[in-house]
Every structure is written in C-alpha cells, then in structure tokens.
Amino acid sequence: MTTRQDPYHARMKRVLSYIDRHLEDDLGLDTLSAVAALSKYHFHRQFRGYFGISVHRYVQLGRMKRAGQVLAFKDEASVTETALDVGYDAPDAFARAFRNSFGQLPSAFRDTPDWEVWFASLWPLTNARSKLMKTAYSLADVNIIDVPETPVAVLQHRGNPALVAETIQKFIAWRRAAGLSAASSATYNVFHSDSDITPPDEFRLDICAATDRKIEMNDQGVEAGVLPAGRCAVLRAIDAENVEPAIEFLYRDWLPASGEALRDFPLYCQRVSFVPMVAEHEAITDIFLPLV
C-alpha cells in the first residue's frame, strides 16, 4: 500500500499534477518519465503498479474527461477546438478516442450525454487519482466564520449520483436563461446524503446559486431557497475535484479537537471556481460545516 513515506510517492504525485496541467501538450513516455525522474524503461511498469492503469490510458481518460466537461457544460463548445485543447491535432482521431471511451461521438455527447456510461468509464481514472492525490490538512487550515443568510435558487437532484451531471446541465440552462452567470452569483452544493452509504435512489444533492431575485416558473424545476445564517467551520479543498479528503478531515480530526457542536443543517460547499470556467487543477472548493 502506498504511504507518504514511500520514496516514489512524491514523484508519482508530481506526474499526476503535470498531466493535469498539460493535457494539451506532449505527454509521452519520455516526457512523463523525465518529470518523475525515473528511467523510461521502468516508469510505465511503476505507474501501472501504483495505479492499476497504464500511463497511456490514464492520459487518454484525463483528456476525454476534460473534453466531455467542456462539451457538456460550455456554451456552444466546438468539437474541433475542444480536440485541440486536449492535445489532438486531428478531430477524427479525437472523435474515435472519445467514442471508444464513452460510446458516443463528441457531437452526440454534447447534445445528449449518457452520464451513466461517462461515470462508469471514468472509474479507472477516478480510482487511480484517489490512491495518490489525497491532500493532508491541518487544524490551522480551518476557520470559523459567521455566515449571513443567503437567498439562493435551488435545483434538487434526487436519485442516482452518477446522473448529477444531468442535473447540473439543467441548472446551467436555467442560469443562462435567467442571465445569472457563475461569475456574478456564487455557486453552492448542499450535501443531504453521502453517496458511499446512501442507496442510489435515495441520494440527495442541492445545486444552488446565490440570488435574491424572484424565481419565475421554469421548465428545469429551479425554486427559491435559502442557506441559513450561522457559524460555520470552513476548509478550502486543495484538490477540488475530490472533496472527500477535506470532508473526512473535518469530521474525523478537526471536530473532535475543536470542542464544537454541529448545527442541524447539512454540510455544504461553495464552488469558488470550477470546470469548465477553469482547468481542473485550478478548481477551488470551500467546505462549510455548520456549527451551533
């Protein structure tokens, strides 16, 4: 099992970070073995040994994930420009790789994504990252603040967590129609459920945007709501794609040491910056733990 005392841990983490930051560049064996400061004759076997996936497949899935996020969530995304953004000079090669990964051509995915296939196909990538990209937090990283009452527009997701992206698409469509951009209105998620222990059909998540506007009737099902005022412990998630390490730290380490008590309102987060507005490695999420 990989630990932080493992002398190769930092090298492998450096490789994953480099891939995140250079999806459009050369990510061949020579480049990545040099980043790891390991022999190219052994690096590919070491990578597979750590992550259970070849470095080539990891890079390809990383590129396909980024491309899918842009196609699904960015307004009027061009397939050709998306291909170039993730390192493909030839749109045909990109289309074949995308279809092989997700069973849909990029243009079809942009119009009607099959999110269940997407979620399942990316599992090897998600699993690999979870083995090494967890970040250590300290008690000093947590701040207690008084949060004011925040009126929000809310779209409730109920059911399979693999389909959350479908709900996000609906919410984005509502925001565009309402003229409420992510740049002008803070974005929140309220975690009513833990996907690890909740049956898929009972999973609950709220997607919210801060606004005091009246919410007109709409096809997406967005309603008016509120995030209540109160004290919160706040922790910034460093690897914003996976907030679970930050959440676990708050409950397991910070809360017992703090002597604080929890308020009867769910854990929630603010998506300070997120894909596709920024690249995945630049995304920032603040976790809010409501306190008495």
Query: What pLDDT score does 245 carry?
Result: 85
Residue 181 contacts by C-beta under 8 Å, 6 or more apart in sequence?
175
- pLDDT for res 134: 59
Q: Mean pLDDT across the stretch 63-90?
A: 90
The SS3 assignment for 70 reads helix
Structure confidence at residue 5 (pLDDT): 57
The stretch 183-206 carries a mean pLDDT of 92
**pLDDT above 80 for 279:** no
pLDDT higher than threshold 70 for residue 155: yes
Regarding the domain delimited by 139-290, which CATH topology (the fold level of the hierarchy) does it fall under? Answer: Multidrug-efflux Transporter 1 Regulator Bmrr; Chain A (3.20.80)
**Computed over its alpha carbons, how large is the radius of gyration of the chain?**
20
CA dist., res. 70 & res. 74, Å (int): 5
pLDDT score, position 290: 98
* Cα 192 from Cα 203, distance rounded (Å): 8
Would you state the pLDDT for residue 2?
Answer: 45
Q: What SS3 state is found at 51?
A: helix
Return the biggest CA–CA distance within the chain.
62
In the prediction, which pLDDT does 77 show? 81
| Strand pairing category for 268-273 and 284-290 | antiparallel
Using the predicted structure, report yes or no on whether residue 4 has a pLDDT greater than 60: no
pLDDT of residue 76: 77
> What are the tens digits of pLDDT across the range 232-271?
999 998 766 678 889 999 999 999 999 999 999 999 999 9
| Mean pLDDT confidence for 153-177 | 93
Beta 150-158 vs 223-227: how paired, if at all? antiparallel
* pLDDT above 60: residue 108: yes
Q: Look at residue 131 in the predicted model and tell me its pLDDT.
A: 72
Q: Supply the mean pLDDT for the chain.
A: 90
Q: Tell me, what's the pLDDT at 196?
A: 82
**Stretch 222-232: mean pLDDT:** 97
Tokens 């701040």 belong to: 143
For the segment 62-71, what is each residue's pLDDT rounded down to a tens digit?
999 999 999 9
Of 1-5, 117-121, 191-195, 284-288, the one with minimum mean pLDDT is: 1-5
The residues facing 207 across adjacent strands are 155, 189
Residue 75 sits at φ, ψ, to 5 deg, of -60, 130
* pLDDT score for 122: 92
pLDDT at 281 over 80: no
Most confidently modeled of 1-15, 105-119, 141-155? Answer: 141-155
Q: What angle do CA 197, 237, 149 make, to 5 degrees?
A: 85
- Tell me the domain boundaries of the chain: 9-132, 139-290
* Confidence band of 25 (pLDDT split at 50, 70, 90): very high
pLDDT band at 149 (very low <50, low <70, confident <90, very high): very high
Give residue 1's pLDDT. 42
Superfamily designation of domain 9-132: Homeodomain-like (1.10.10.60)
pTM (2 d.p.): 0.83
pLDDT at 205 over 90: yes
> Sorting pLDDT into bands at 50, 70 and 90, what band is 133?
low
